[in-house]
Amino acid sequence: MTAEDSKKKPAGDEKVAVYICHCGGNISDHVDVEALERMAAEMPGVTVSRRNHFMCSDPGQNMIIEDLKAGKADRIVVASCSPALHETTFRRAAQRAGVNPYLYEHANIREQVSWVHHGDGATAKAAALVGAAVAKARALQPLEPIRVEAIRHATVIGGGIAGLKAARDLAIRGVKVALVEKTPFLGGNFAKLDRVYPTQEKAGDLLTGLAAAVLAHPSITVLTCAEMIASEGYVGDFKLKVKRQPPQDAEDLDKLIQLKQAGTAKGTFVPFVGILPFDVPVGEETVDLATGAVVLATGFKHYTPPKGMYGYGDNPEVITLPDLIKLMAEDTAGGGTLQVNGRPIKTMAMIRCVGSRQIPGIHEPDEKGNLNEYCSRVCCTATLQADRELREKYPETVIYDFYRDIRAYGRGHEEYYVGASRDGVLFVRFEADAAPAVARAPEGSESPLSITAKDTLLSGQDLEIPVDLVVLAVGMVPSDVSSIVDIMKLPVGADRFLLEVHPKLRPVELATTGILLAGTCQAPMDSTEAAQGATAASVKAATILSRGFVELDPYVAAVNADLCTGTGACVETCPHSGCITLVDAAGGKGRMAKVNPALCTGCGMCVAVCPNIAIEVNGWTLRQYEAMVDAIVGEPIVAEAE
């Protein structure tokens, strides 16, 4: 008898189909999938046991659909890779076959087995996991998605390039938008650029067109000098409080005064400042927003080198790359050499990876103990762009480019490196533990600074180069959004950027449904990537809100009214404010717990503290856990010989 023809009758009425994936060798190279198929066929309640090279493929899904439609099974177990990758895929396959999509269980035999075990032990563990999944599948009950009404309104927090793009894209899709910007100006860091690569378009022109579309759109309300101070609710029905007040930053106030005195029209782009707002609050006010989804576009900050790093703060001739970009943009005259503070710059040095790719034991953490171990990605091409513009505009200025590695990763970016080399930029490669040293040149020297480095391109030769200017290519660090993180309970990665659910499958979603990410609040990226991320977030938000309701997974806590005595332990333990409350029980039986399913994340903390076992999580009940444990510790199943 082959596993495929097995028609064993289960102890109950449940008929379970087991599907085992080879995963193109990822699983089958270490797990004996043929033996596992035979073992699964002998498990209680299993009526179908099959395998396929790729269960997630169309043939694999069709195999499931055909078995379910033929009545061979009424629930399924898929043994493959992580459920985070294809749980939705197999649920939809069950749904297309007319079976409740929640009568499905997953056994992860790739990450939990084949990637960490080898030999007979791998197959035995895979069989144990499949057995537990089958036992749980037999105890599953049909569930229905939770439907909540959705307000067709979105709030975008952050008025940089990503926030503006997200707001416009949402409005185009028929969603009303509130754009909340902390500063008096729109444009963020994008406003502090001169030209963008690889098109070399003027950043101001691009920003002006986008901001004009946002400011003129009747469905978009722009709130500058505004900050979110409170949030409650859930996807489809968030309640936000936004505080508006006059600018608190002295630099912003000075800029506003200067622009007003100059008669600058509202909505005008001011280079290296941003778009002048239409209104600035004269007093403090609170705005209440009822919104269906929230898009976070809080942006980034440029790394600020500590005093003394490469001579920064000690020498006026040491500046950052953003400083250089502004200097070049403001110099409309040009000439043979760059002029800084009235001094001709005959020789200059660019130093990369300042504030990025920091290594414990080599680099010093900041005052909060943070090291930026990540790569900021965009600095490489931004530095190459500056190299080329310098050589074009100031052909007599000699440029030394000091780098650890060059990562010109985007389309057309490598051409900047090739072009800079052809233009005569001199590249010097150094190791992380032997970074260039910048020192004040001896009095009477022609150049004010001297930079020394061991050039690995020249077999470790020591170089000492007199320079007139040192430019530090600083990386990106996340904006301080700690208040938003605390208010909305948001996940933050080890790099301190906001953390998406999955970088490939759910790249702009947070774990809290209805809160989305746009742009550099989640990782370093260039303006094109930030705009693309904003469009992705806006499409996702519009999709959520378009039907007027949202369907959520039913894996939420449920209360057994017959067992609940209203102790309140679940209310005290629940990490989500307002998710569980105490209400009057029917028939005057005192108080009992009530769950708001739209706020529940199914964490199960309430289950652990209930003294009466009166609350459980749908789809993960204690009975189902017990069935899984019994299957794992019970008699092992041995495949019969062929």
Indicate whether 97 belongs to any domain: yes
Q: In the structure encoding, which two tokens stand for residue 379, read together?
A: 């600095």
Note whether 243 and 286 are within 8 A (CB).
yes
23 with 135, same domain: the answer is yes
Indicate whether 60 belongs to any domain: yes
Indicate whether 6 belongs to any domain: no
From residue 135, give the alpha-carbon distance in Å to each of 15, 77, 108: 11, 10, 15
CATH number for 133:
3.40.50
254, burial (CB in 10 Å: exposed 0-12, middle 13-18, buried 19+):
exposed
From residue 517, give the alpha-carbon distance in Å to each of 232, 278, 293: 18, 26, 11
470 with 483, same domain: the answer is no
Note whether 229 and 242 are within 8 A (CB).
yes
Whether residue 198 is preceded by a cis peptide bond, meaning omega within 30 degrees of 0, is: yes
- H or E element: which one contains 173? none
Indicate whether 628 belongs to any domain: no
From residue 277, give the alpha-carbon distance in Å to each of 183, 247, 542: 10, 12, 26
N-terminal to C-terminal alpha carbon distance within the chain: 8
pLDDT for the residue 271: 94
What 3-state DSSP class applies to 510? Answer: coil
162 with 232, same domain: the answer is yes
pLDDT for the residue 642: 37
Tell me the pLDDT tens digit for each residue of 24-34. 999 999 999 99
226 with 195, same domain: the answer is yes
509 with 583, same domain: the answer is no
468 with 319, same domain: the answer is yes
From residue 52, give the alpha-carbon distance in Å to each of 42, 59, 257, 478: 19, 8, 70, 44
Indicate whether 626 belongs to any domain: no
Note whether 470 and 311 are within 8 A (CB).
yes
* The last residue of a domain, from among 504, 527, 550: 550
In whole angstroms, how large is the CA radius of gyration of the chain? 30
324 with 465, same domain: the answer is yes
pLDDT for the residue 542: 96
422 with 460, same domain: the answer is yes
Indicate whether 1 belongs to any domain: no
Angle at 622 between CA 621 and CA 625, to 5 degrees: 95
Indicate whether 202 belongs to any domain: yes
Please give the tally of structural domains in the chain. 4
Range of the domain at 409: 303-475
Distance CA 373, CA 137 (A): 43
Q: In the structure encoding, which two tokens stand for residue 601, read together?
A: 């994340």
pLDDT for the residue 637: 54
121 with 30, same domain: the answer is yes
* The last residue of a domain, from among 143, 161, 183: 143
What 3-state DSSP class applies to 65? Answer: helix
238 with 326, same domain: the answer is no
542 with 572, same domain: the answer is no
Q: For the chain, list residues with pLDDT below 50.
A: 1-11, 639-642
Indicate whether 634 belongs to any domain: no
CATH number for 307:
3.50.50.60
* The last residue of a domain, from among 501, 530, 550: 550
Q: In the structure encoding, which two tokens stand for residue 242, read together?
A: 């936004």
Instruction: Give the residue among 89, 24, 114 at the shortest CA–CA distance from 505.
Output: 89
CATH number for 571:
3.30.70.20
pLDDT for the residue 318: 97
341 with 469, same domain: the answer is yes
